[in-house]
A and B are shown apart, each in its own frame.
Chain A
Amino acid sequence: MNELNLFFSYISRHKYSYLLGIGCLFVTNWLAVNIPLYIGASIDLLGANSTSDYQQLIDYIYWVIGFAVLMMLTRTASRMLFFNPGRLVEKDMKDDAFRTLTQSQQSFYRSHPVGGLISIVNNDINGIRAMAGVGMMNIFNIFFTLSMTPLKMWQISPSLMLFCLLPVLMSFTIVNYAIRALRTLLNKRMQYLQALSTTTVNFLNGVDVIQANQVQDWVLRKFGKHNQDVLTISLAQLRIRTFIMPLLEYTEAALKILILGVGGWYLLQSDLTLGQLTAFLAYASLLAMPFMSLGRLISTLQMGMVSLKSMGRILRNREAIQDETSKIQADKKRPLMNFSKGIEVRNLHFRYPDTTAKHYVDQEGTNNNSFDEDHAGFALKNISFQIKPGEKVAILGRVGSGKSTLVNCLNRFYDINENSIFIDGVDITTLSRRTLRAMVRTVTQEPFLFSDTLKHNVQFGSAAYEQVDDEKQLSQVLAQSAMAKEVSLFPDGVNTLVGEKGILLSGGQKQRISLARGIYTPTKLMILDNVLSAVDNETERFLLKQIFEALPSQSCLIVSHRQAVLEQVDTILLIENGEIIAQGNHKTLLAESSLYRETWQFLQTDTDDNPESSIKTEIGDNVHQGGGDV
Chain B
Amino acid sequence: MFKLQKKLSRWRHFWPYLQPYKKEYILGLLPIPVSVFCSIAFPWLIIQIIDHQLSPQKWEGMTVWLIGISLVLLANYLSSSFYSYYVQKAALYSIRDLRQDMFRRVLNFPRSYFDKHPMGSILTRLTSDLEAINESLASGVLAMLRDVLITIALLIFLASISWQLTLLTLFIAPPIYWVTRILRRMLHQSQLDSRRVLSKSTGYLQENLQGIKTVQLYNTEEEAQARFRGFTQQFFNAQSKSNLIDASLFSIIESITTITMGLIIWYGANEILTAALSVGVLIGFLQTLDKIFVPVRDFTSQIASIQRALAALQNIQTLYQQPLIDEAEITTTSSIKNSVMQKHATSLDEPNALVDQLIHFESLVFEEVSFRYNSVGPYVLHGVSFTLKKGEKIALVGSTGSGKSTILRLLTKTYTDYEGSIRLNGVELSQIPKAVVGRFFSLMQQDVYLFDESIEFNIGLGRDSVNIEQIKAAANYVYADEFIEKLPQAYQFKLTGNGSNLSAGQCQLIAFARAMVSGCELILLDEATSAVDSVTENKIQKAIDNVFEEKTVIAIAHRLSTIQHSDTIIVLDKGVIIERGTHQTLVARGGFYANLVKKA
Contact = CB atoms under 8 A, between A and B. Distances in A.
A256 B252 CA distance: 25
B203 interface: yes
Contact of B600 (A99, A605, A614): A605
B255 A122 contact: no
Given A61-B266, A204-B123, A253-B73, A98 B258 contact: no
Interface string B530-569: 1111111110010000000000000001111101100000
B11 interface: no
Interface string A68-85: 110111011001100110
A27 B335 CA distance: 81
Interface string A107-136: 001000010011001100000000000000
Interface stretch (A2-10, A147-155, A296-304, A364-372): A364-372
Contacts of B250: 75-76, 79
B434 A238 contact: no
Given A58-B266, A218-B462, A277-B54, 17 more contacts: A61-B263, A102-B224, A121-B205, A204-B119, A212-B412, A215-B463, A224-B100, A227-B100, A242-B84, A264-B59, A274-B50, A366-B505, A399-B531, A413-B217, A619-B557, A620-B399, A630-B380
Nearest to B113: A207
B233 A216 contact: no
B89 A235 contact: yes
A103 interface: yes
A188 interface: no
B293 interface: no
A489 to B, nearest CB: 14
Q: How large is the interface on A (under 10, 10 to 19, 20 to 34, 35 or more residues)?
A: 35 or more
Interface in A160-204: 193, 196-197, 200-204
Given A91-B233, A264-B53, A630-B380, A98 B287 contact: no
B461 A215 contact: yes
Interface string A355-367: 0000110111011
Nearest to B74: A250
B114 A43 contact: no
Given A210-B107, A444-B214, A118 B205 contact: yes
Contacts of A460: 214, 218, 220
Interface string B490-510: 000000001011111100000
A549 interface: no
Given A207-B114, A215-B463, A620 B88 contact: no
Contacts of A94: 228, 232
Given A366-B483, A611-B564, A230 B218 contact: no
Interface string B100-129: 100110111101001000010011001100
B589 to A, nearest CB: 14
A274 B561 CA distance: 102
Contacts of A246: 77, 80-81
Interface string A22-49: 0000000000000100010011011101
A122 B200 CA distance: 12
A426 interface: no
A215 B466 CA distance: 13
25 contacts: A46-B272, A64-B261, A76-B251, A79-B247, A83-B247, A84-B243, A87-B239, A90-B236, A95-B228, A95-B229, A200-B126, A204-B123, A215-B461, A238-B92, A274-B55, A274-B283, A278-B283, A359-B503, A368-B505, A451-B203, A461-B220, A607-B583, A613-B560, A619-B563, A621-B400
B255 A630 contact: no
Residue of A67, A364, A614 with highest tally of chain B CB at under 10 A: A614
Contacts of B258: 35, 64-65, 67-68, 71
A607 B272 CA distance: 112
Interface stretch (B299-307, B312-320, B591-599): B591-599
Tell me if A's interface is mostly helix, strand, loop or mixed. helix
Given A215-B461, A360-B502, A368-B536, A611 B560 contact: yes
Nearest to A102: B221
Given A64-B261, A242-B84, A366-B503, A204 B532 contact: no
Contacts of B261: 39, 64
Residue of A285, A413, A450 with highest tally of chain B CB at under 10 A: A450
Interface in A318-373: 359-360, 362-364, 366-369
B306 to A, nearest CB: 19
Contacts of A214: 435, 438-439
Given A216-B107, A220-B107, A466-B223, A368 B449 contact: no
Contact of A118 (B58, B209, B211): B209
A227 B96 contact: yes
Given A210-B107, A246-B77, A257-B66, A98 B217 contact: no
A411 interface: yes
B295 interface: no
A256 B500 CA distance: 64
Nearest to A118: B206
B93 interface: yes
A616 B225 CA distance: 45
A209 interface: yes
Contacts of A260: 46, 49-50, 54, 66, 69
A511 interface: no
A231 interface: yes
Nearest to B564: A611
Nearest to A205: B449
Interface string B122-143: 1100110001001000100000
A384 interface: no
Contacts of B89: 235, 238
B265 A61 contact: yes
A281 interface: yes
A88 interface: yes
B401 A629 contact: yes
B559 A616 contact: yes
